[in-house]
Amino acid sequence: MINCYIDKLIKYTKYILMKTLSLTFLFVLLSSFFVLAQVEDNQGTGLNFNDEQYGVDLMKAPLTRSLYGSSLPSSSSLKKWTPTPKSQGNFGTCVGWSSAFCAFTILEAKKNEWTDKATIDANTFSPGFVYKQIKMSSDISCKIGSSISDALEIMKTKGVAKYKDMDMNCPSSIPFDLFNKASKYKILDYAKLFGLYDSENFKIE
């Protein structure tokens, strides 16, 4: 089960749910989803960790207390914007589920102020659409994983199709008209919050 209910594992301190969340995909958000998507027994996984690529991805400017004053909460939850979990089965499509179905759906729900679960579930996004474009071409059975950066770049440049328009885990092709629909749903940019070797204190500042 792709567990989008992240309340127990994601207690954002100091910086989460700021205005920038709707504009920027944060690696800390996605990383939590990837862990959740791979913990179930007998389930496919699929996140390929790439330290070299992570090292060159953009880094978000550090936030400071002075920017937000006393209005910044000590913690916050994304639970009310999450879609109902689905299963990736034994496919290696974790990155697609985590980035498109979970994270992007949450961003859209938050932006549109959707908290009704039925409304959120009717507007989820397709993991297969993203995964098809970033997987190895020789991986016809969709068993090999993919990278966070590749998924985010697709979501930035091409957008994301709705799950109702492509609900397959391992699509053999993508209909041309879906690219036009997906272009309406793009992220502005993406960034990481900290580097591989940053101290624990830096990560929570």
- pLDDT tens, per residue, the chain with 205 residues: 444 434 433 333 333 334 344 444 444 455 545 444 444 455 555 666 666 766 767 677 666 656 666 677 778 899 999 999 998 888 888 899 999 999 999 999 999 999 999 999 999 999 999 999 988 888 788 888 788 889 999 999 999 999 999 999 889 999 999 999 999 999 998 887 777 777 877 766 6
Tokens of 170: 């391992």
For the chain, give every domain's residue range.
19-204
Contact 129, 82 (CB under 8 A): no
Q: What are phi and psi of 180, to 5 degrees?
A: -65, -40
Whether 89 and 44 have beta carbons less than 8 Å apart is answered as yes
* Class at the top of the CATH hierarchy for domain 19-204: alpha beta
Q: What predicted TM-score, i.e. pTM, was given to this entire model? A: 0.74
